[in-house]
């Protein structure tokens, strides 16, 4: 009599300082751009769930906001969400950027917190993934790995390059094997739990950062205001880009509206790629001072406005 195959399912919290490559790693492992990537730091605001289902294992990856020294209310809420993501996980995966000349302050803070949790009796596996190994010599990489494992005795260490797709399969297979035996939480075809409206807004926000990160500050956001499905399968989407100043609005609009048209075209193509259908996208820009203190936005992002 054949033994029934047991399924494995669990949560993996991807921790790290800003720009360590967390979103790139999760997008690569899921095969879709579900988490925003940009040259700006602190661009992941919510706890994005990336779902990887292969054979008998379902890996649910939590792309936490980067951990950094918070300066504003939104910063505090994002950092709080990152630590909450850690508390919900079966496996904690710390991502370290090997291209930095030294272990930075934010990374040290995370390691110190993980060390304290372990000293308090937290027995969950803590894994280390050193990312961007193509940016460092083998000798320096070994030295970095030794230094990190001296700071915290990691259960496993992986050398990867998310951008170059090196070491990813080994990491993914190891995660799948280590997960607890559980029934699948999501359908096999699911890749994220984020609503389509939010993903569409994040795609547009990503394009704004990619094209205007040198001109615009961090404090912009995008909301999907209207979503209309048509009988032919196409979707009409209206989005509002919120900024804090008139000068920021002028940058996004561009001369004679050329920049916002370019943003809209690129965002539309990427939303079409994700949704697999024709998209009609309209973008509007509104000035709203201190939008980042609006409790409703925190709730929509899954953040705690009381932090």
CATH of the domain at 282: 3.30.300.20
Q: Are 20 and 169 part of one and the same domain?
A: yes
Q: Are 165 and 212 part of one and the same domain?
A: no
- Cα–Cα distance between 113 and 187 in angstroms, integer? 34
pTM of the predicted model, to two decimals? 0.75
Which pLDDT does position 77 carry in this prediction? 56
Q: Which of 178, 213, 231 is the last residue of a domain?
A: 178
Which pLDDT does position 48 carry in this prediction? 72
- Cα–Cα distance between 176 and 168 in angstroms, integer? 12
Average pLDDT, the chain: 83
Q: Are 94 and 114 in contact (CB under 8 A)?
A: yes
Compute the 3-state secondary structure of the chain and give helix, strand, coil in percent, each to the nearest 5.
40, 25, 35
Assess if residue 138 is contained within a domain: yes
Which pLDDT does position 267 carry in this prediction? 95
Assess if residue 307 is contained within a domain: no
- Cα–Cα distance between 141 and 284 in angstroms, integer? 47
Give the number of domains in the chain: 2
Q: Are 141 and 57 part of one and the same domain?
A: yes
Q: Which of 178, 208, 228 is the last residue of a domain?
A: 178
Which pLDDT does position 3 carry in this prediction? 43
Q: Are 107 and 146 part of one and the same domain?
A: yes
Q: Are 48 and 63 in contact (CB under 8 A)?
A: yes
CA 198 to chain centre: 13
Q: Are 250 and 155 part of one and the same domain?
A: no
Assess if residue 184 is contained within a domain: no
Higher pLDDT, 290 or 289: 289
Question: Where residue 98 sits, what CATH number does that domain have?
Answer: 3.40.50.300
Q: Categorize the per-residue pLDDT at 47 as very low, low, confident or very high, splitting at 50, 70 and 90.
A: low
Q: Are 15 and 92 part of one and the same domain?
A: yes
Residue 41 has pLDDT above 50, yes or no: no
Q: Are 44 and 170 part of one and the same domain?
A: yes
Q: Which of 178, 205, 232 is the last residue of a domain?
A: 178
Q: Which structural domain, as residue segments, surrounds residue 160?
A: 8-178
Q: Are 213 and 279 part of one and the same domain?
A: yes
Nearest to 158 by CA among 169, 147, 150, 11: 169
Higher pLDDT, 32 or 52: 52
Q: Are 236 and 101 part of one and the same domain?
A: no
Q: Are 174 and 200 part of one and the same domain?
A: no
58-99, pLDDT tens digit by residue? Answer: 999 887 655 445 455 555 555 555 556 567 789 999 999 999
Residue 137 has pLDDT above 60, yes or no: yes
Q: Categorize the per-residue pLDDT at 213 as very low, low, confident or very high, splitting at 50, 70 and 90.
A: confident
């Amino acid at each position: 009599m054949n033994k029934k195959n047991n399924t494995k399912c669990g949560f993996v919290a991807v921790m790290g300082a800003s720009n360590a490559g967390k979103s790139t790693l999760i997008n690569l492992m899921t095969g879709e751009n579900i988490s925003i990537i940009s040259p700006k730091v602190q661009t992941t605001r919510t706890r994005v769930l990336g779902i990887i289902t292969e054979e008998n294992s379902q890996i649910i990856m939590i792309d936490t906001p980067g951990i950094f020294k918070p300066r504003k209310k939104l910063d505090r809420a994002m950092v709080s969400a990152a630590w909450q993501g850690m508390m919900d996980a079966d496996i904690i995966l710390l991502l370290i950027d090997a291209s930095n000349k030294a272990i930075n302050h934010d990374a040290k803070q995370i390691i110190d917190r993980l060390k304290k949790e372990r000293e308090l009796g937290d027995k969950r596996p803590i894994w280390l993934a050193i990312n961007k190994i193509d940016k460092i010599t083998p000798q320096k990489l070994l030295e970095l790995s030794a230094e990190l494992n001296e700071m915290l005795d990691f259960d496993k260490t992986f050398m990867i390059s998310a951008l170059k797709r090196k070491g990813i399969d080994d990491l993914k297979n190891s995660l799948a094997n280590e997960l607890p035996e559980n029934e699948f939480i999501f359908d096999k075809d699911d890749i994220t739990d984020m609503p389509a409206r939010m993903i569409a807004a994040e795609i547009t926000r990503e394009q704004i950062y990619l094209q205007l990160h040198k001109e615009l500050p961090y404090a912009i956001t995008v909301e999907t205001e209207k979503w209309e499905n048509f009988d032919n399968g196409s979707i009409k989407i209206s989005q509002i880009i919120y900024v804090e100043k008139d000068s920021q609005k002028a940058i996004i609009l561009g001369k004679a509206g050329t920049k916002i048209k370019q943003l809209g075209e690129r965002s539309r193509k990427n939303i079409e790629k994700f949704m697999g259908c024709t998209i009609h996208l309209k973008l509007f820009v509104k000035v709203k001072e201190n939008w980042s203190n609006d409790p409703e936005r925190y709730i929509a992002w899954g953040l705690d406005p009381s932090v």
